[in-house]
Amino acid sequence: MLFSAFVPIWVLTGTGYLVARRGLLGPHAETVLGRFVFHVAMPAALFPMIARTPLDRFANTSVLAFAAGTALAMGAGALLAVLVFGRGRGGGAVAGMAAGYVNSANLGIPVAMQVLGDATFVAPVVLLQVLVVTPVVLMLLDAESGTAVRPGRRLLDLLALPLRNPVLLAAALGAAASALHWRLPAELVRSCELLGGAGVPTALVVLGLSLHGRPPAEGRTPPAELTALVTLKTVLQPLAAYAVGHWVLHLPAGQLRTVALFSALPTAQNAYTYAREYGIGKVLARDAVLWSTLVSMATLSVLGWLLPAA
């Protein structure tokens, strides 16, 4: 049942809210746990996963269709944020991520198994998002935060960004290990998997923590902006991926179904993790994750029913 794939997300997010409401972890829990996810757990999960995934998985037409939908949704989200809603470059990057960065791990796998009966498309989607989309978003956030790009050293600072950012460093090391066909020690892989396994549940708990007792200054995302981003994520992105796959790449029905369903997955909690870490668009990312997850329960069900398996 598709609904069961969403239950852990709501349970862990609700747990975070209840923990904050009871004050069990103190006033700094969101900051400390958020930094743990960004600096420790997420890099630990990414490194062995990418290192063991052949990079040639990029080379297929299904990924091209998914990438086209992603680019269109993220570009539209970023432009709306900057040109219509008056956000800066960093805010546009967060909005773009909210509009096009899918929850490929903790939702993509169960949805793929229950609806498609095959989760092999998860790997190329993760590679695309981690090795292509994430660096672009983090470079924009890094530049907007004012902590990295200095006059006269812009190129050097951007080239050195992976050395300062643990997520990008782990992805780069994993890609290098994959390209060179390095066999990682089993002890290292197991240690990374144990540590990385804490990333997704902790990120969801942090998301729940952020929902309680937020300062009045944080406010809420304007309804028009939130509606636009959620619509881009749950409707436009899968339609665009399907259109490219059908009319441009001429994918068979089964691949079209896979591409459309993965494109319709809700915004990943990584969007909130990155926004919180850089202090840019945190409320926007949080609201997009929550509402796109809720809406996608309906859109994924409709797509799974409408699109033929073969």
In angstroms, the CA 177 to CA 58 distance is 16
Dihedral, CA atoms, 199, 288, 66, 301, nearest 10 degrees? 100
pLDDT computed for residue 188 by the predictor: 95
CA gap 15, 207 in Å, rounded:
10
Give the pLDDT confidence of 147-156 residue by residue, as tens digits.
544 444 555 5
Instruction: Quote the CA–CA distance of 258 and 147 in Å, as a whole number.
Output: 40
The pLDDT tens digits of the residues spanning 212-233 come to 866 555 578 999 999 999 999 9
| Mean local confidence (pLDDT), 179-187 | 93
**Selected residue with higher pLDDT from 210 and 71:** 71
Distance CA 143, CA 92 (A): 12
pLDDT band at 104 (very low <50, low <70, confident <90, very high): confident
- The domains located in the chain, with CATH, are 3-212+221-306 (1.20.1530.20)
Look at residue 109 in the predicted model and tell me its pLDDT: 75
Confidence of residue 14 (pLDDT cuts 50, 70, 90): very high
